[in-house]
Every structure is written in structure tokens, then in C-alpha cells.
Amino acid sequence: MADLTHIDENGNAVMVDVSDKSETERTATARGSIEMQPETMALIQSGNVKKGDVLSIAQLAGIMGAKRTPDLIPLCHPLNLSSVKVQLSCDTQRNAVDITATCKLTGQTGVEMEALTAVSVAALTVYDMCKAVDKGMRIVNIRLTHKAGGKSGIFEAD
């Protein structure tokens, strides 16, 4: 198993030094869902949530979340993202909003945390906008599904 990179030999937290890494194109995709009552799904699809268009606002929040990742997660590098795409879709069979985020850049470190943050913030936004009618919603299965670039190469989740 690999060593933890954010802890030095004395047990102190450190930001990983990426100055010797070469710049490569890096991408990461994360996915997750928020499960809800059928009535909540119907409200989202009909556009009748009092706070507004849930999917559009959550999409924008996810993009903003990716851009703010180093402000939220200690030791994350501030990155010059070249692309952030967040997609939300309604699955009425599961009464879930499925969220996918893909982040991209050319740089010295990966964008996994940005993609995961985008999905998390989008899901939290759906929750916030719908909590008045459904406090039992569940944010589930947030995980990295794809990563490419850098010396570790390509990762594809099962």
C-alpha cells in the first residue's frame, strides 16, 4: 500500500510539493445521487419547487463548488481548471437525481477532489432546495469513477 502523501515523516500535515511534476492533461469524473420521495421528484420535474429550478441551480452550484475546492478541503492545491461539466438527470424509477461531474486541466496535479466536490455540492443544493418538502432525502454513492493523466495513469471504477 502507498504511503499517505499529506503527512510528513514527523506526522505533520503537508501540502504535497508538485513542483517537480510535469504538466499533463488531467481529467476526473465523479458520480453520485440523491434519493427522495416520489412526490419530491414530481415537484422537481414539474418546476414547482418554491426556491426555483432545482436542476439548473444545482448544476451551477456544482461548478462553483469545483472552483472552490481548495477553500473547502485542506491541503488541496488551487488549480487553474480549464473545464468543469456538471450534469443532473432524474431517474423516476429510483426517485433519484443522478449527478455526474467531469473536471479537466493541464497541470501538475489531478482534479479528483474537484470532481468529487462538484457532485457533493450539487447534491447538497438539491437537498437544500427540497428540504421543506422532504427531509428524508439521502445523498448516496458519491465516488470517483474515472481519472486520467499524471504518472499513475488511468483509473476506471468497477
128 catalytic, yes or no? yes
Burial-class residue 85 by CB neighbours within 10 Å (0-12, 13-18, 19+).
middle
Max CA separation in the chain (angstroms): 56
- The total of other beta-carbon atoms located within 10 Å of residue 90's CB is 17
How far is it, in rounded angstroms, from Cα 129 to Cα 110? 31
Determine which one of 91, 128, 134, 158 is catalytic.
128
Known catalytic residues?
A: 128
